[in-house]
Amino acid sequence: GQQLNRSPQSMFIQEGEDVSMNCTSSSIFNTWLWYKQDPGEGPVLLIALYKAGELTSNGRLTAQFGITRKDSFLNISASIPSDVGIYFCAGRIDTNAGKSTFGDGTTLTVKP
Amino acid sequence: NAGVTQTPKFQVLKTGQSMTLQCAQDMNHEYMSWYRQDPGMGLRLIHYSVGAGITDQGEVPNGYNVSRSTTEDFPLRLLSAAPSQTSVYFCASSPWQGVKQYFGPGTRLTVT
């Protein structure tokens, strides 16, 4: 099956700094998704990307769908303490929303 | 709407015991999925359903059964619990060809 590799595994940053994380896949996806998981809760969708090269923003978050369709990145600008959590990428081949492949997640710590 | 609800929140089982994790959604979503999340890792798909009466296997289906008799409910059965099934289990739902999966709060299962 598909494998998603995320980078980095964890990040410790100062409040106000920008953050960048990415995922690469062994095969192509038709949809890339970025989720955030707070401690003790389920993941929540942040951004969805539908076509190669697409760049989408959601507030301080910006994500891009790689041209090769095998990678995606997520940027967070001007980080704040509530950005703390685990960020997951997920890829989908078909329109079946129930069959997403998840990466292992990047743990973000923001120091005030 | 309550969204996606899961019961119980915590469970401890002995090796060999069986149990059912409950999942319900009140959004009339066609797709429902079960994932497991091991420490430091992403979510892995166990089983999913595209509608009442239709289920299929995900990446890691061994040791688990599902059924979907109604649109609302999608229970996950552990047939004979093993320590390797110690994990956090998340149920998710999404509408037909919808991008966004709505996750429940999770069930934390420990098998001793």
DSSP A6-39: EE-SEEEEETT--EEEEEEESS--SEEEEEEE-T
Residue type, B3: G
- How far apart (Å, rounded) are the C-alpha atoms in residues A8 and A55? 21
- How far apart (Å, rounded) are the C-alpha atoms in residues A9 and A105? 7
Mutate to test the interface with B, among A5, A100, A104, A107 (most CBs of B within 10 A): A100
CA quadruple B50, A31, A6, A19: dihedral sign: negative
Cα–Cα–Cα angle for A81, A38, B106, nearest 5°?
Answer: 170
Closest CA to A86 of A110, A62, A51, A57: A110
The pLDDT of residue A40: 86
Which of B31, B42, B98 has its CB closest to that of A103?
B42
Q: Cβ(A18)–Cβ(A74) under 8 Å?
A: no
The pLDDT of residue B98: 74
Q: Cβ(B76)–Cβ(B20) under 8 Å?
A: yes
The pLDDT of residue A94: 75
Radius of gyration of chain A from its Cα atoms, rounded to whole angstroms: 13
A104/B43 Cβ within 8 A: no
* CA–CA min distance B14, chain A (Å): 23
The pLDDT of residue A96: 65
A45/B100 Cβ within 8 A: yes
The pLDDT of residue A97: 63
The pLDDT of residue A39: 87
Which of B44, B97, B106 has its CB closest to that of A95?
B97
**Cβ-based neighbours of B62, under 8 Å, separated by 6 or more:** none
The pLDDT of residue B99: 77
The series of mean pLDDT values per 10 residues for chain B, 112 residues long, is 92 97 96 92 92 93 96 97 97 85 95 96
A97/B99 Cβ within 8 A: yes
Q: Which residues pair with B76 in a beta bridge?
A: B21, B66
- How far apart (Å, rounded) are the C-alpha atoms in residues B59 and B22? 20
Q: Which residues of chain A have pLDDT under 50?
A: none
The pLDDT of residue A78: 97
The pLDDT of residue A1: 57
- How far apart (Å, rounded) are the C-alpha atoms in residues A93 and A95? 7
